[in-house]
A and B are shown apart, each in its own frame.
Chain A
């Protein structure tokens, strides 16, 4: 039988081994997190801070830019995550078909965007979505539009461009999870359904999706967190302004601007950061609640 309690020397040795990691984690993660919570109750500009109680939370409710950013973030979340998850599932099922030729090539092509350099991809997308860019030219050549769309000059189209960009970048990443899960499903299950006359759509709806549910939940949570922290694309496409007229500003971009661009308001930006934490918590909880198996186990 293993000794239940370690003696004192072994305990010290054990702690000594994990101490470097613990110190670094504490210094660069736990301390800033706790400090940011404390900061969120501070008011004032620059280093001139004082305790303000719930003043920052009150300010949130009256801050039009924050409300804008919250709305934008939710818009991105509500449209982008389902589109991306749906596309990723579709690609995964299609690319799992053993009769498809060039499967490896397609898989690589769809996965590649998420390992591409952020700056390189942002720059390319920016030029593609320019008023005289390739997207407008193509759409005009196909007679879909009569005059070029001002992608980053119009609040609606700016959001569309950003949704397209993030979807392009992250769909392949999610697809890989689904592909891995699909390959773990026993092929006979589909063969049995085929022999029993279950139509293809029903095999997808009633067999594939339920069997992938744990993975779908996982990717949804990961994507939700990612979207709530959306910063890179917006910052790069709009030169950090979240324009036009704050129509693409996200919570993360707003935090950045509050901290580093405007007159620094560290306390208030910490409060906005904690809003994201709370939102991620609530949304993840809701997703788990929805995905919970409702069947009563006997």
Chain B
């Protein structure tokens, strides 16, 4: 069993609390990604699971055993670091086999395990090289290999791709996904890159300032964000936000008027909120429709248009709010300076002044 549970886990450095009561269930063989802006506590939380940081309060359970005070080496985990943390004076083979020597594994078995890890990671030809003779991607594979040979129940990855260039990052992302399929173990993966989170995770945990903002499957978070922070953080390009005011209210919908476009009103299915409330309307770039196709039309000044081939991004201004509009196969239509788009109420999100979703 390699499930993992966090029960009201807290971490304080002196009087500064950085993890403010995290509750989380991670199932066996699940790929969980902790994502959030820098300083949100995601790495600290991972290091607490690893045992590199003490848990100030709360419980950490791996399997069904409380692990708060168990030595890192006895938690059944292995960790891959952002800086790879390879032993610089040891060859790839020695790097992967080093820890096993102290676990009482026989020489023949170490050799076998290292060979197996090398096969999985295609490191065979590199076994006698030193880390400095490897590229960044190869080093990261060695670091993963060093984790694999220990047959951990839970793999921890701390921003493993941050030191790689963009192309290699995409490649390694696929490698890690393949590895998860092959090894069938629980993985906890920390990143600040929401694309990595979306592409790799079975479950994403969005953190902000030591608090879990939302937990869910990638598309759940994308389609149904719990608040404005998650809505803005998940998805690329970012969700567009337009300031608005509630002008009327019926039992199952709110009528709002956009602040930058007086007279543009539409009904959004939502309860809660009151007439006069300041709210924020969220619309994803791909959800703006052609003129007249939605519930309200907006005419905007075009700032810049980017043509990526299959898709075009139009950057426009709505009052002082910058908007990104995604358009497919319409590369010839942006000769003019203005664009008219429509907003569909069923593809828009409404957030209250505190950033909470109004549904």
Q: Using CB atoms and an 8 Å cutoff, list the residues of chain A in contact with chain B.
A: 186, 188-189, 191-199, 202, 206-207, 210-211, 213, 295, 297-298
Q: A186-B83, A198-B102, A298-B133 are in contact. Are A192 and B146 (CB under 8 A)?
A: yes
Q: List 14 A-B contacts (CB under 8 A).
A: A189-B86, A191-B50, A193-B98, A194-B52, A195-B72, A195-B73, A196-B98, A196-B99, A197-B74, A197-B99, A211-B88, A211-B89, A295-B91, A298-B129
A207 and B87 contact, Cβ closer than 8 Å, known pairs A198-B98, A198-B99: yes
Give the docked Cα–Cα distance between A297 and B129 (Å).
Answer: 8
Once bound together, how far apart are the Cα atoms of A210 and B90, in whole Å? 9
Q: How far is the CB of A210 from chain B (nearest CB, A)?
A: 4
Which residues of the partner chain B approach A193 to less than 8 Å between Cβ atoms?
87, 98-99
Minimum CB–CB distance from B209 to chain A (whole Å) comes to 25
Residues from 61 to 102 in B contacting A, C-beta threshold 8 Å = 72-74, 77-79, 81-89, 91, 98-99, 102
8 Å CB contact of A196 from B86, B128, B129, B146: B146
Residues in B with CB closer than 8 Å to A207 are 87
Q: Is the CB of A192 within 8 A of B85?
A: yes
For B51, B74, B79, B129, which residue has the most chain A Cβ atoms within 10 angstroms? Answer: B79
Specify which of B51, B79, B91, B130 is in contact with A192 (CB 8 Å cutoff).
B79
CB neighbours of B89 from chain A (8 A):
210-211, 213
**B10 within 8 Å of A (CB atoms):** no
Give the residues in chain B near A297, CB-CB below 8 Å: 130, 133
How many A-B residue pairs lie within 8 Å, measured between CB atoms? 64
Is A197 within 8 A of B128, CB to CB? no
Contacts of B129 in A (CB 8 A): 298
B47 (CB) vs chain A CBs: closest residue: A191
Interface string of B129-163 (1 = CB under 8 A from A): 11001000000000100100010000000000000
Q: B102 to chain A: which residues have CB within 8 Å?
A: 197-199, 202
The answer to whether A188 and B73 touch (CB under 8 A), given A195-B50, A196-B99, A198-B102, is no
B103 near A: Cβ within 8 Å?
Answer: yes
A201 to chain B: closest residue by CB: B102
A66 to B85 Cα, complex, angstroms: 53
Of all A-B residue pairs in the complex, the 5 with the closest CB atoms, nearest first, are: A197-B73, A196-B99, A188-B85, A192-B85, A188-B81
Given the known inter-chain contacts A206-B98, A211-B88, A298-B129, please indicate yes or no for A195 contacting B51, CB distance below 8 A.
Answer: yes
* Complex interface: chain B residues within 8 A of A197 (CB): 73-74, 99, 102-103
A191 touches B52 (CB 8 A): yes
Q: Which residues of A contact B98 (CB under 8 A)?
A: 193, 196, 198, 206
Nearest A residue (CB) for B81: A188
Please report B residues at the A interface, Cβ cutoff 8 Å.
50-52, 72-74, 77-79, 81-89, 91, 98-99, 102-103, 128-130, 133, 143, 146, 150
Known: A206-B98, A298-B129. Is A194-B85 also a contact (CB below 8 A)?
Answer: no
Inter-chain CA distance A191–B84, complex, in Å, is 11
Q: Are A194 and B87 also in contact (CB < 8 A) when A188-B81, A298-B128, A298-B129 are?
A: no
Minimum C-beta distance from B47 to chain A (A) = 8
A120–B129 CA distance with the chains assembled, in angstroms: 53
Please name 14 further chain A to chain B contacts, defined as beta carbons within 8 Å, in addition to the given A186-B83, A188-B81, A298-B128, sorted by A numbering. A186-B85, A188-B85, A191-B81, A192-B79, A193-B87, A195-B52, A195-B77, A195-B78, A196-B99, A196-B146, A196-B150, A197-B74, A198-B99, A213-B89
A291 to chain B, nearest CB (A): 12
Q: A209 — nearest CB in chain B belongs to which residue?
A: B89
By a CB distance below 8 angstroms, the chain B residues around A210 are 89
Across the two chains, which residue of chain A brings its CB closest to B128?
A298
Question: Which residues of B are found within 8 Å of A206, using beta-carbon distances?
Answer: 98
Q: Which residues of A contact B150 (CB under 8 A)?
A: 196
Q: Within 8 Å CB of A194, what residues of B? A: 52, 72-73
CA distance A102 to B129 in the complex (A): 42
Given A194-B52, A197-B73, A189 and B85 touching (CB < 8 A)? yes
* Distance, CA A138 to CA B197, complexed state (A): 67
- Residues on A with C-beta less than 8 A from B86 are 189
Q: With A and B bound together, what is the CA distance between A35 and B300 in angstroms?
A: 90
User: In the assembled complex, which residues on chain A have CB atoms less than 8 Å from the CB atom of B87?
Assistant: 189, 193, 207
Q: How far apart are the CA atoms of A206 and B130 in the complex, in Å?
A: 16
Determine the chain A residues whose CB is within 8 A of the CB of B83 once the complex forms. 186, 188
Give CA–CA (A27, B230) in the complex, Å.
Answer: 76
Q: Which B-chain residue is minimally distant from A189 (CB atoms)?
A: B85
Answer whether A196 and B78 are a contact pair too, CB < 8 Å, given A186-B83, A188-B83: yes
> With the chains together, A199 CA to B72 CA distance in Å?
12
Q: Is the beta-carbon distance between A192 and B133 smaller than 8 angstroms?
A: no
A186, A191, A211, A295 — most chain B CB neighbours (10 Å): A191
